[in-house]
Amino acid sequence: MRRAVRLLIASLCLSASSQSVHGQDAGAAPTRDVREIVQRLAFDPGTFFPSPHIKDHAVVRIAYTGDDYAWPVYAIAVAEGCVDGENIPRDHCASRLRARMVRAPAVDAPSSPRHRGSRLIARLMEDGSTSPAQIQASLQGMGVEWVEADLRDCPGAVQALARSADATWVPEAIANPRPGDELSGMVLHADIVQVEFKQYARLASYQGWIAEGSPAAWAVEFASALEPCWRPASVQAPWLRQTLP
């Protein structure tokens, strides 16, 4: 019986995937291309703390995307210490712990975070902004948020960051697989969160839906802790810094 249920679910998943592919048809490629350009120009947390000597100072990177289409909702990066090129004495910035975020504009009465991202892509398509140069020029006037926060001045933010160590980075169904667990982590049309912690030669990464106790759930909690502390960023937005071919 259990095997029959698994086969039925798998069949439904394949059917839904097929319908999604065929349902997009002619308009799929341009939308996908625009989405990927927007992700690269604006929602890559690896571009939020650049410097002349180090490409990316971030020690934490978070990217929240919506639905199977990976609509760009928000991306957050956290960096510690001094960032090259800042006109601040090193002893004034060594203890810094800062976050920066790009977030798609708010929409009226959204029922899900993904609607921020899907609406942003739809607006770009409606305006005819489909090339990297056009998208770069249009993003600035669409209300895309580019903000930063000092974690040490933000109540509860440092504690929220520390709770990342309590997340379950490897699901039980993978660490201790048992018969019947094959589909235990399957969720259809879920929002996906990618989380990376990087320091020197060490990298810990996770990508998945917002399962209870997962790094994805932690990332959403961390973003909520930062919410009241965001201020306009003091540096140029990432999509304006990039040199296009």
Whether the model clears a pTM of 0.95, i.e. scores above it, the answer is: no
The DSSP secondary structure of 146-195, one letter per residue, reads: EEEEEGGGSTTHHHHHHGGGGS-SS-HHHHS--TT-TTTT--TT--EEEE
**17 within a domain of the structure (yes/no):** no
Please determine, for residue 227, whether its predicted confidence score (pLDDT) is greater than 90. Answer: yes
pLDDT tens digits, 125-165: 999 999 999 999 999 899 999 999 999 999 999 999 999 99
Q: What is the pLDDT averaged over residues 77-103?
A: 80
Query: Coil, helix or strand for 243?
Result: coil
**153 within a domain of the structure (yes/no):** yes
**176 within a domain of the structure (yes/no):** yes
**5 within a domain of the structure (yes/no):** no
What pLDDT shows up at residue 243? Answer: 75
**8 within a domain of the structure (yes/no):** no
DSSP state of 150: E
Query: What's the token pair of residue 158?
Result: 């440092």
The DSSP secondary structure of 47-88, one letter per residue, reads: GSS--SS-S--EEEEEEEEETTTTEEEEEEEEEES--TT--S
Residue of 59 and 85 predicted with greater confidence = 59
**140 within a domain of the structure (yes/no):** yes
Provide the residue range defining the domain that includes 125: 27-241
Q: How many domains does the chain have?
A: 1
Percent of the chain with pLDDT strictly greater than 70: 80
Residues 6+ apart with CB under 8 A from 160: 221, 222, 225, 226
**201 within a domain of the structure (yes/no):** yes
Helix or strand holding residue 30 (H, E): helix 28-41
**155 within a domain of the structure (yes/no):** yes
